Amino acid sequence: MQDMSLTQFDGSASLFSGGGFMFSEATQPADSSVSKGRTAHGVIPLTVKQISDAYNSSNDKSRIVVDGVDATHVKLLGLVMNKTEKATDVTFTIDDGTGRVSVIRWVNDTADANEVAVIQNGMYVTLIGTLKDFQGKVQISAFSIRAVIDYNEIPLHFIHCIQIHADHRRERISSQAQTPGDSVKASTGLSDVKENQSPASNQVTTSNTDAKADIYKLVLDIFEEPESLASEHGMHVDEVVKRLGIPHKKIMEAINYHVDVGHIYSTIDDYHFKSACTG
């Protein structure tokens, strides 16, 4: 498969036109009573505009709140521009059609160097990282960068952004109607699904669905073990298969689910995964 780059188009980021992804009221001031205590336990797919609006409206630049939720780990997809390489890090700009944001990827070992070596200007990438305040501007410290090899990833990313945005707004409205002491669950991007559970775990229908829910939980539990959390590159799929003694296909089904909802993410390749849980 060939990496998707700008050279295949007409010289502009035509795949990103903003439009429905330019959210209004996408942010909640960091000091609001609604946002206090709410942290997303996973990776939040966002647009650059959402991040910029949240950063600019926040009095505490060390804590960026999007839709009333602390944005700890975020996922972006966009066009690479102005790449600069140094011995210790690589910086570039991401343009997703709603805005531009600076990105830094620290290079600590050979695996990191190999990951950033393939990233070039004019290439579409998806990245996961944390939001930082750097010299009065928001910056993303990325810890996972992947070239886009399928154009379906682009609309899918923005669909996820819309879905999460809608879920968080719905939760915020719901929390305002709750009595003191009621808790607000962290959104995983699927409505009516409890945090860190599979969709099947909310439906007690047959032993088959119960078994699937159990597998999903077992897989996530392994990635959230202290040893796995401490590993920079996470855990290999084969190790999970070996530990659980469950067929590879079922393990990958569970892994793909947890990646989709932001519980885990791929690291050095398509076979190593790490929990998005910060402990």
Between 16 and 73, where is the model more confident? 73
> What's phi and psi for 193, nearest 5 deg?
-115, 125
State the pLDDT confidence band at 9, using cuts at 50, 70 and 90: very low
Question: What is the per-residue pLDDT across 91-137, written as a single tens digit (0 to 9) for each?
Answer: 999 999 999 999 999 998 888 888 889 999 999 999 988 888 888 88
Between 219 and 211, where is the model more confident? 219
Instruction: State residue 27's pLDDT score.
Output: 43
Helix axes 237-244, 207-223, angle to 10 degrees: 120
Question: What is the per-residue pLDDT across 157-204, written as a single tens digit (0 to 9) for each?
Answer: 998 888 888 887 777 776 666 544 444 343 333 344 344 444 444 444
| Domain covering 194-275, topology | Arc Repressor Mutant, subunit A (1.10.10)
Domain ranges of the chain: 6-160, 194-275
Q: Average of pLDDT values for 237-256?
A: 88
Distance, CA of 254 to CA of 164 (rounded, Å): 21
Alpha carbon of 16 to those of 25, 141, 156, 193, 259: distances in Å?
Answer: 20, 23, 13, 30, 24
Are residues 235 and 274 in contact, defined by beta-carbon separation less than 8 angstroms?
Answer: yes
| Domain covering 6-160, topology | OB fold (Dihydrolipoamide Acetyltransferase, E2P) (2.40.50)
Alpha carbon of 7 to those of 10, 12, 99, 120, 124: distances in Å?
Answer: 7, 9, 20, 11, 11
Position 245 pLDDT exceeds 50: yes
158: enclosing H helix or E strand? helix 153-177
State the pLDDT confidence band at 18, using cuts at 50, 70 and 90: very low
Instruction: State residue 101's pLDDT score.
Output: 94
Instruction: State residue 25's pLDDT score.
Output: 44
Q: Which two tokens stand for residue 113?
A: 């160097």
Tell me which of 37-41, 65-69, 124-128, 214-218 is least confident: 37-41
Between 198 and 247, where is the model more confident? 247
What does pTM read for this prediction?
A: 0.58
Instruction: State residue 195's pLDDT score.
Output: 44
Question: What is the per-residue pLDDT across 79-93, written as a single tens digit (0 to 9) for each?
Answer: 999 999 998 999 999
Distance, CA of 41 to CA of 48 (rounded, Å): 20
SS3 call for 181? coil
Instruction: State residue 37's pLDDT score.
Output: 39
